[in-house]
Amino acid sequence: MLLGLDPLLSGDLLKILRDMGHGDTICIADCNFPAHEIARRAAVPCVSLACDTPRAARAILSVMPLDSFIDHPVRRMEDGNAPSEPTEAHKDFQAVVHRSAGERWQMGSIERFAFYEEAATCAAIVATLDRRGYACFILTKGVIGADDKVV
């Protein structure tokens, strides 16, 4: 254990987050998402966390800045039955983003099958135990300036 770090952040996950550069993405997915298979095919790491997606976001956002150069550095998988309507899982995730990174970050959305393709381009996929449908998200890493603040 290390002081000041969320205990969910394993050495492997910290290395992935540290090695990501500005504009790189990471996927946080629910337990029904084919995380391990997409990661295997795309040859990207898959990290399993014993928590739900908002808890995983809280851990990751405790060390990773969001990208202020794009409109939606937080994107959700759209519910196929109501693509424009955020689910409870989406709302819970957005609340964590606001608490962790600030109110300015708005969530975008990605159609379900396009989300699978985009997840395959991420630096890693974080598989959670969240059983709520469509609780899948992609975060885009931002920049930390010389003053240690998110640019």
Query: Could you list the active site residues?
Result: 22, 67, 116
Instruction: Give how far the C-alpha of residue 134 lies from the chain's centroid of Cα atoms, to the nearest Å.
Output: 13
Which residues are registered as beta bridge partners of 126? 28, 47
Contact 60, 27 (CB under 8 A): no
100, amino acid identity: S
Question: What single-letter amino acid sits at 56?
Answer: A
